[in-house]
Amino acid sequence: MLTPMDIHNKVFKKGFKGYKEEEVDEFLDKIVSDFERLYRENGELKDRIAIINEKVDSYSLMEKTLQNTLVVAQSTAEEVVMNSRKKSELIIKEAEEQARRIIEDANNSVIELNREYEALKKEVQVFKTRFRTLLEAELEALGVNLTDI
């Protein structure tokens, strides 16, 4: 690449009926001045492009990190939802099983209470019969007729 110093140090050979040396030198000085400015601007722009490229790389890395984080978060959220569903299903099954056992125990208690009730009814009936028999025997022993009472 041509540098401003290359332009400045360029020496042209003199020939017969050549250009005026002062005009050529003036023009070359203008060219050198403009070329130096453009050369500096080009260097500054390259530096800015390098800085921007570093930022773009940094942002790209950040974007990849955020995407990975988002994927992990989505995966974790799905796992949490799935575990919650499983846990809720398990809780429901346990509650249904407990309810079934409670109902079964209550039914067994009702059956047992009915048995006890029937047994007590029979005992009362037997007691009444025995008591009546005892009373009749006592009345008969006393000589009292039940038809008279």
| Residue 147, in any domain of the structure | no
The boundaries of the domain holding residue 28 are: 4-111
| Residue 30, in any domain of the structure | yes
Residue range 128-142, pLDDT digits in tens: 999 999 998 888 888
Residue range 88-126, pLDDT digits in tens: 999 999 999 999 999 999 999 999 999 999 999 999 999
| Residue 106, in any domain of the structure | yes
Domain count, the chain: 1
| Residue 43, in any domain of the structure | yes
| Residue 67, in any domain of the structure | yes
| Residue 118, in any domain of the structure | no
Residue 148, pLDDT > 70, answer no
Residue range 18-28, pLDDT digits in tens: 777 788 888 88
| Residue 28, in any domain of the structure | yes
Instruction: Please spell the DSSP secondary structure of 6-34, one letter per residue.
Output: HHHH--PPP-TT---HHHHHHHHHHHHHH
CB-CB contact of 22 with 47 (8 Å)? no
Closest CA to 136 of 123, 124, 149: 149
Which region holds residue 17: left if phi is over 0, alpha if psi is between -120 and 50, else beta?
left
| Residue 14, in any domain of the structure | yes
